[in-house]
Structure 1
């Protein structure tokens, strides 16, 4: 099992990243079937929990607490610096994404195009009125990025609408200043955190698409796109980029623009690659 960080690894989703590391930690027992791993409901903290120790207790003939402690010791170097690993009561393993891990993951989503699946199941044809809110959010993301480029908050490599690539590349700042001098994520407003949480949730839901494997249950692409669109609209209404934020805390403004870029990338992917629809750069 490699110890590459979340930016360097080929896994697209956070959940897949953790599942493969859990598999590596329990490899001495061979195949054990599905590994339980679920995302916590807290939108401020990105926490995943696994009851794998309870599942292994009978096979390993140890208490869940003892097994969880062993696995946590193995997982720590595999997940560092992206996740903090700890053992909770009853042998539950908790993996909390660090600010450093979030910054790396967001940078990847904002600047590296998502891989196009080799095989995919397109959504049934969706009416234009149902697509419009999602397309509007995508176009709004693009508009904000172009405006920031004109105001020299950021520098986009190809800002022209006619020639813009699928994902805009930032010439500056690179990397995006996600964290402050104390390595704490600048994005702490509830609107920031809610959008980050939704980005992670949507990609985790799409994990079977990226893994080119069968869906256990059908994924409603329109529903997850709408959820992301709504989270973006809430972020846009609550989290300022211009005005005092641009003047007094320009790096926070740039981090929020990075979040806009990450959202644009994922909305474009869902629209074009899964809903077979247009992702307009302007409306």
Structure 2
């Protein structure tokens, strides 16, 4: 798995990555000007970083995508939603259905044109498919999942533009989230002591932004058959929740994108619950450590990613402590 250029990727979230590819695909076809003004609601945009608004705390909503990063009056609203299937990381776009009347083509024909252009732009991270109803389906491949998981586990998130986004939450309600964070830290340190992984600087006084790994690097997400090692339902649920949190954290990185409120407590609590289920059902030590050490390391990678996001939410959104231990 090639992870050398992960840190150079400008998109913070998976959804932003896809919206930028849609932008490129439509620009390549020279069809953006054909999208009518009644689809944009009079929106005027200055840059594509405004493309990641969300309509609820768990579903990616409508992204507003400009052309060529310039001030425009004739932009387009791109519907892009996450499937609720936690076993897959699947995004759905109904843009072809929106354009069918104005373009005087069937949704299937429009979707097919866009999909053919999107495929090389998204490869190998996404598999692009057109459904019978003209919906465009974009599913993260195992290779794509490995890249985004590696990035979550080992690349720090950008510094937020403002400190506290969430209303004050009482300490008792935050405790389960803090407990999950402390459990992540405890497991990572234990794994370092047992030499399953090697943390570059394991002995720190406060929770690190990212616990950088000296080994293995990259984390062995992919097996010898180029398939993701993490196939247990609890693993897939945690992966799905990690990427949901990432997509919904976007407004914290852009002060202009505050129109859609996000319930960060509910988001963090769901991530904490997914982690607890994963921890109770997916072993790392014992037989797994001895007979499947790379699976143990991949599971520890999920713990690294979880610890990083929980710390970010606790410290930056709730102004709370992200404890190393409880």
Q: Give the unaligned 5+ runs of structure 1.
A: none
What is the aligned partner in structure 1 of residue 17 from structure 2?
A: 17
The alpha carbon displacement at 1:124 in A equals 2.2
The alpha carbon displacement at 1:117 in A equals 2.0
What is the aligned partner in structure 1 of residue 155 from structure 2?
A: 112
Aligned pairs, how many? 280
Q: Give the unaligned 5+ runs of structure 2.
A: 34-73
Give distance in 2, aligned partners of 1:93 and 1:32.
20
Alpha carbons 1:145, 1:257 under 8 Å: kept: yes
Does residue 56 in structure 1 map to residue 99 in structure 2? yes
Structure 1 runs (4+) deviating above 4 angstroms are 4-8
What is the aligned partner in structure 1 of residue 114 from structure 2?
A: 71
| Stretch of structure 1 that moved more, 29-38 or 266-275 | 29-38
What is the aligned partner in structure 2 of residue 122 from structure 1?
A: 165
Over 3 Å counting, the alpha-carbon distance change for 1:7 and 1:80 in structure 2 is farther
Does residue 81 in structure 1 map to residue 139 in structure 2? no
Question: Any idea what the Cα deviations from partners look like across 1:9-37, whole Å, max 9, x if unmatched?
Answer: 21111111111111221232144421001
The alpha carbon displacement at 1:6 in A equals 6.5
The alpha carbon displacement at 1:164 in A equals 6.0
Measured on the aligned residues, the alpha-carbon RMSD in Å equals 1.7
- Counterpart secondary structure, 2:138: strand
Structure-to-structure mapping, 1:158-197, within 5 angstroms:
158-162=201-205, 165-197=208-240
What is the aligned partner in structure 2 of residue 282 from structure 1?
A: 325
The alpha carbon displacement at 1:125 in A equals 2.0
Give distance in 1, aligned partners of 2:301 and 2:13.
18
2:292 to 249, 272, 276: 249
| Stretch of structure 1 that moved more, 211-220 or 134-143 | 211-220
Give distance in 2, aligned partners of 1:163 and 1:129.
21
Over 3 Å counting, the alpha-carbon distance change for 1:276 and 1:163 in structure 2 is closer
Give distance in 2, aligned partners of 1:266 and 1:214.
20
Does residue 261 in structure 1 map to residue 304 in structure 2? yes
1:37 to 80, 105, 113: 80
TM-score by length of 1: 0.94
- Counterpart secondary structure, 2:128: strand
Over 3 Å counting, the alpha-carbon distance change for 1:178 and 1:101 in structure 2 is same
The alpha carbon displacement at 1:216 in A equals 3.4
The alpha carbon displacement at 1:62 in A equals 1.5
TM-score by length of 2: 0.82
Alpha carbons 2:164, 2:318 under 8 Å: kept: no
| Stretch of structure 1 that moved more, 8-17 or 174-183 | 8-17
Does residue 224 in structure 1 map to residue 267 in structure 2? yes
